[in-house]
Structure 1
């Protein structure tokens, strides 16, 4: 047997052992999370705002620090998208273990400050449950916040009675406990899929 053959033969068991060890370790290590929503990590800025909440108090992202937060823009006179989306999120929260549910807050930001004062917002969010908090601000403040998350809104022409529609995005932004933008949740996701994503965020190491 030549020296080269002896070398190849002597290293063969060690190579197989290393390969087997790598396979075992890879099987035991948790893989990356397969999100149902769109991963927007490092694509959007962290959660930050200066608004007024449904109690009429100044509101900032520090108010719910340490919680997973969902940000959704809308208005209380919305005939379809807003109530359907908030009801959808309410159903998703019901899928989360009860002991973790209080660690999720839905921030409903009204882009219709002329009609949605704190009292109106409080009455509206009460219907969906204690995890929902309404807030609003001046139009410039709302424009600044919507642009921060690359969305927009607009107002339709008032009718004879002064009623008008408001156009806005249906996107839901999910932020982790540290306030980092993590996911873009769309309406086609089921409550179970949303709950699965939120549970992953809740269970991440802090």
Structure 2
């Protein structure tokens, strides 16, 4: 005798329908812009730092792409920097080729004593070889960050042999082709949100 599968009971139908809706929505892109838009964009300072090849690099003069995402952090950061850099790397992988060609990601160290050009290069290789690393003396790094509302505190060696970096801001800042920073994201932004926002910003400029 052939067995037949019983249809779901009426009591289970609402749950089945809910699961179908959630499954259909699970792979979609965020519908809301995740970044914070500034009515008065920050002006990007034309102050040269040094990239991992030893060449001068200014966030104003040398950002040639239509959109540059800038994050200040340090390689020995145990948590937030890894979270943000992982999200940025994932976002770049989500972009199609047309969008990706128009975007750079720049990491500015807040720990230049330990983040030598070689160490910085090796750190960024773990996330994306195309990421640009910048270093310099701490006073210049602070000077670059200040107009972008980036707080950077000079780190100090502790008597115990440890290192107290003091702290730094954790937002990611968007620099556009006009050398202005009109948008920033907080540390909780996901890779999907970054990717969707990047696509939206690039589409607005077309």
> After TM superposition, is the score higher than 0.5?
yes
Alignment match, 1:49: 47
Alignment match, 1:91: 90
Alignment match, 1:198: 198
The 8 Å contact of residues 44 and 148 in structure 2, kept in 1 or not, is answered as no
Alignment match, 1:102: 101
Please state how far the C-alpha of 1:69 moved relative to its aligned partner. Answer: 0.3
Q: Give distance in 1, aligned partners of 2:83 and 2:113.
A: 22
Alignment match, 1:60: 58
The count of residues paired between Structure 1 and Structure 2 equals: 174
Query: What does the per-residue CA deviation read over 1:58-90, in whole Å, with 9 as the maximum and x for residues that have no partner?
Result: 112332323310111111111111111100111
Secondary structure of the residue aligned to 1:48 is coil
Change (3 A) 1:185 1:131: farther
Q: Give distance in 1, aligned partners of 2:197 and 2:47.
A: 24
Alignment match, 2:163: 163
The answer to which of 64-73 and 118-127 deviates more is: 64-73
Q: Give distance in 2, aligned partners of 1:179 and 1:104.
A: 14
Q: Give distance in 1, aligned partners of 2:184 and 2:151.
A: 15
Please point out which of 35, 38, 57 is paired with 2:36: 38
Q: Which blocks of at least 5 consecutive residues in structure 1 are unaligned?
A: 1-32
Please state how far the C-alpha of 1:157 moved relative to its aligned partner. Answer: 4.8
The 8 Å contact of residues 156 and 163 in structure 2, kept in 1 or not, is answered as no
Alignment match, 1:183: 183
Q: Which blocks of at least 5 consecutive residues in structure 2 are unaligned?
A: 1-30
Please state how far the C-alpha of 1:159 moved relative to its aligned partner. Answer: 4.4
Please state how far the C-alpha of 1:185 moved relative to its aligned partner. Answer: 0.7
The structure with the larger Rg is: 1
Q: Give distance in 2, aligned partners of 1:156 and 1:97.
A: 43
The 8 Å contact of residues 37 and 186 in structure 1, kept in 2 or not, is answered as yes
The 8 Å contact of residues 109 and 133 in structure 2, kept in 1 or not, is answered as yes
Q: If the length of structure 1 is used for normalisation, what is the TM-score?
A: 0.76
Secondary structure of the residue aligned to 1:116 is coil
Please state how far the C-alpha of 1:41 moved relative to its aligned partner. Answer: 4.5
Alignment match, 2:110: 111
Corresponding position: 1:129 with 2:128:
yes
Secondary structure of the residue aligned to 2:196 is helix
Query: What does the per-residue CA deviation read over 1:14-56, in whole Å, with 9 as the maximum and x for residues that have no partner?
Result: xxxxxxxxxxxxxxxxxxx963210024231136331000111
Q: If the length of structure 2 is used for normalisation, what is the TM-score?
A: 0.76
